[in-house]
Structure 1
Amino acid sequence: MDAMDTQDPTYSDDELTAALAEHLASLDRDDSYRVDRVLKRSGVEATELVYFEGSSGGSLGPFVRKRIDASAQIGGAYERLFEAQRAGRRFEHFPRIVDCRRAGDELDVVMEYVEGETLEALVGRLGATPDYAHGLFPALCDAVGELHAGFATAGEPAVPVIHRDLKPSNIIVSGVRYAPNAGMSFSSLVIIDLGIARVWRDGADADTVKFGTRPYAPPEQYGFGQTSVRSDVYALGALLFFCLTGADPKPGRDMREQCETGAIPVPLADAICMAMALDPAKRFANAKALGHAVCAAFELCRPAFSVPGAMPPVAAQAASTASPSPSPSTQQPQNILSPAPARQSLLSRVPEPLGRAWNILICLSLLVFFAGSHFAVFHPTGANQNYPTWFLAVEYFFFVDGLTVLFHFAVLDKRRLRRRFALLDSYRGKKLAKLWLKALGVLLICMIVIVAVANATGVVDTSAS
């Protein structure tokens, strides 16, 4: 849908509802609409800018009307949204539907006209800047989370609604303010075009109808399985790539290579690659988890965004326009997304495949220690033969194995775990060290108490060893 920023509604919600109720009381609803212009047209859907015409010559609007071919098995999400809104539910990130009805094989949906500019137009105007990852993208994840919560009314089970066509032109942002030093702010973010959205069905093997925009659609959307909330997570990863590079991701090409080509810093590239994994099970579990991961990744990259002398993309473009022929020594880089090596953490410079290989070695080492504990409990030697099996089990399975897990976890490459589990990502540096020391202290205290009680009751005599 084209950006909708040319006219202002002059009616409040209550006035609008009352006026529409009078207009829609007529059976000839089509005669009440005046089509101002066609915004978009496809083989199964037409989107129009319309006004309601009153009997006295006045008009009400503008509104957006969609004429959808219901025989194509699309448009049902609008009906669910309309029923939920009529039941009193309010949705922050979706347009308010004022009329929704079927006439034969055609579904007519009339909704509020949302002011603002599309994300596509916004990135075209401001350029690719990391500020999207800080403020706008988490809000977009919240909006998709609202969609996935479903449009159920009171007493109905909440079933996720999958958009299946999240792309830059289907996101409208209003009230955007941007300053190179102050960052970006906006008043609202609305997701539009629910035409091919579908309700998730438990037990379905694949979608009945296959639609979507190729750079933003996951493999399962084209017949390789049923789309789920993780399908929209894939599209969100592609949208983040678009915000940071100004270009659509190229289907079929390795995303890690595309991120490197686009000079996207490693933490943000990690989030994109995980969100766009070909296997849905390897993606973020939901939009909220992706939003948390992107916020954390942005904070890791923040020093690179504030390097003295570095100029944000918008300012750099303005400077190059004002000075057509700058000397090489005074040119500012057009893309500051690549972090300065001196500011990167040591771990962020380690290739992720090497980190995975290291984790495999850690897991193998852990298995060796577990095997040793098992042998010590069930095949005791030396002084251990004097102790009962239950005591050896407590000593080795709780204390020794607990210490082993703590020390192995301390040297684990936790990047993938942090992206998957938001709770773990909230523990870093001193906060993680304090938690680790507390766990170690609990183990030591518990073992001291167990040994003391065992000695005092005469169940075991550790002094004899």
Structure 2
Amino acid sequence: MRQPSAAPEEGFGGGQDQGKQDECRPMGSHSEENVLQVGRSAVRSDGRQGKGPRSSNPPSRGNAKTEVRPVRMRAMERHRDTLAPVPGRRRWFFPRLRSRIEPGATIRSVGCYQVGRLLGKGGMGRVYLAEKVGSHGFSKLMAIKVLPKKGLGRRAAEMFLDEARLTGGLIHPNIVQVYTLGETRREYFIVMEHVFGVTLLDLIERHTELGRRVPVDFGCYIIARILNGLRYAHNKHDREGRHLHIVHRDICPNNILISFRGVPKLTDFGVAKATVSHVDDEREVVFGKYPYMAPEQVGRRGTEPRSDLYALGLVMYELLTGCLVHEVGDTTMLLDELEKKSVSPPHTVNREIPQELSDIVMKAIDLDVEQRWESAKAMREAVETFLLKNFMFPAQEDLADYLCDLFPQAAKHRWW
């Protein structure tokens, strides 16, 4: 059973499961399509705007009620679009309507971010397009992932915070960058890179719609780049030199993004495991998506980096053949399939796949952990060797050109 995914839309790509809403442009643009507006400026008691000096004439004592109210209203007007606390005035300057991250809100607690349209939402939170605003006309589009503090429990909150702390240190061209973690009175939020592109699932489904197969060279190129990112994550050390032992645990087509510039990126480390994680109970709870879980993962025997390679092998199988290996929706169904189902090699499903490449995929999805590729580096080298031996030389620009042929919005956003 494939996980639902929002289709790519005209406008911004499907980088974070984006929904179909109006397009947003940078704040520096004054076109009619500019839907991100700057927060309201301060309003002084004399009716003028700006931060000019106060009047040197003291107010009359005869009307004390009218003296206090304009000062309070000025501050309310100045801060009513912010979610950051105002020292000493917290009860006054946090209108209930504005204490929630939503389109039109402005976050100033960690910089200045103007929240735009909803990109997507899932069981644990929402993702919005946002614009970081700086001085002298600086503007940059970001994505903000939001989790409510109430309703999902302590475990969900700890996992969200773990994701931010963990991925904030992962700096690699094939991993979506996380910039900062913040919170409001009601929600936690992560500010992250916004990818103008589509998910790998969008790419697979687009080929299915067109009755075509994903070209072997582009499929291998995408997998090799994701293996680059995985190798980095699996070998990541902290600042004291300690190995973090990161395992993604949720590799699937929805969590692989392809920018319209032809750069594959791994995202969503929300259920990742590491030595610094505060939540690690995988022997009690099953994390991930059932169709892509490794046998040791669904069996609650613990995961390791080769569990990620197994999941990526299933993704590679689906990418090259267009067929989902395990169409399951729960633990019982998956365990039953793993015990009884025999997986056909990819070259028997798609005749365009050479047997050498088929063997690489089958080694990755071996049920025995010890029989799989020993590391992401070893699997990547096998894929790249196959490309070289068959005189296939796919490049980033070639993939970007190919995406422009498949998705109408790709040509527009490729150069953003």
Does TM, scored on the shorter chain, surpass 0.5?
A: yes
Q: Retained in 1: the 8 A contact 2:294–2:311?
A: yes
Q: Retained in 2: the 8 A contact 1:47–1:67?
A: no
Query: What are structure 2's unaligned runs of at least 5 residues?
Result: 14-22, 29-80, 87-98, 108-113, 208-212, 328-336, 393-400, 406-416
Counterpart of 1:129 in structure 2: which amino acid?
P
Match of 1:113 in 2: 194
Are 2:148 and 1:63 equivalent residues in the alignment?
Answer: no
Match of 1:226 in 2: 302
Q: Retained in 2: the 8 A contact 1:93–1:190?
A: yes
Match of 1:235 in 2: 311
Distance 1:211 1:260, change over 3 A: same
User: Could you report, residue by residue, the CA deviation over 1:211-264 in whole angstroms, capped at 9, with x for unpaired residues?
Assistant: 212222212222431111011101111121122112322262322356523334
Residue identity (%): 24
Question: Displacement, 1:206?
Answer: 4.4
Q: Retained in 1: the 8 A contact 2:142–2:192?
A: no
Q: Distance in 2 between matches of 1:51 and 1:175?
A: 20
Question: Displacement, 1:63?
Answer: 2.4
Q: Distance in 1 between matches of 2:82 and 2:375?
A: 39
Structure scoring higher RCO (CA < 8 A, sep ≥ 6) equals: 2
Provide the aligned C-alpha RMSD in A.
4.1
Distance 1:96 1:209, change over 3 A: same
Q: Distance in 1 between matches of 2:134 and 2:155?
A: 32
After TM superposition, the score normalised by the length of structure 2 is 0.56
Q: Retained in 1: the 8 A contact 2:321–2:346?
A: no
User: Could you report, residue by residue, the CA deviation over 1:66-110 in whole angstroms, capped at 9, with x for unpaired residues?
Assistant: 32655235231321222x37xxxx322223323213568954212
Q: Equivalent residue of 2:356, what SS?
A: helix
Q: Distance in 2 between matches of 1:170 and 1:26?
A: 31
Question: Displacement, 1:159?
Answer: 1.4
Query: What are structure 1's unaligned runs of at least 5 residues?
Result: 12-22, 177-185, 306-313, 319-465
Counterpart of 1:113 in structure 2: which amino acid?
H
Are 2:232 and 1:143 equivalent residues in the alignment?
Answer: no
Question: Displacement, 1:210?
Answer: 1.7
Q: Distance in 1 between matches of 2:215 and 2:347?
A: 14
Q: Distance in 2 between matches of 1:8 and 1:293?
A: 42
Counterpart of 2:350 in structure 1: which amino acid?
G
Are 2:116 and 1:40 equivalent residues in the alignment?
Answer: no
Q: Equivalent residue of 1:64, what SS?
A: strand
Whose helix proportion is higher, 1 or 2? 1
Counterpart of 1:122 in structure 2: which amino acid?
L
Q: Retained in 1: the 8 A contact 2:258–2:264?
A: yes
Are 2:183 and 1:97 equivalent residues in the alignment?
Answer: no
Among candidates 382, 394, 400, match of residue 293 of structure 1 = 382
Q: Distance in 2 between matches of 1:55 and 1:92?
A: 28
Aligned length in residues: 280
After TM superposition, the score normalised by the length of structure 1 is 0.51
Tell me which structure has the larger Cα radius of gyration. Answer: 1
Q: Retained in 2: the 8 A contact 1:133–1:298?
A: no
Q: Equivalent residue of 2:127, what SS?
A: strand
User: Could you report, residue by residue, the CA deviation over 1:402-440 in whole angstroms, capped at 9, with x for unpaired residues?
Assistant: xxxxxxxxxxxxxxxxxxxxxxxxxxxxxxxxxxxxxxx
Are 2:359 and 1:262 equivalent residues in the alignment?
Answer: no
Question: Displacement, 1:284?
Answer: 0.8
Are 2:240 and 1:158 equivalent residues in the alignment?
Answer: no
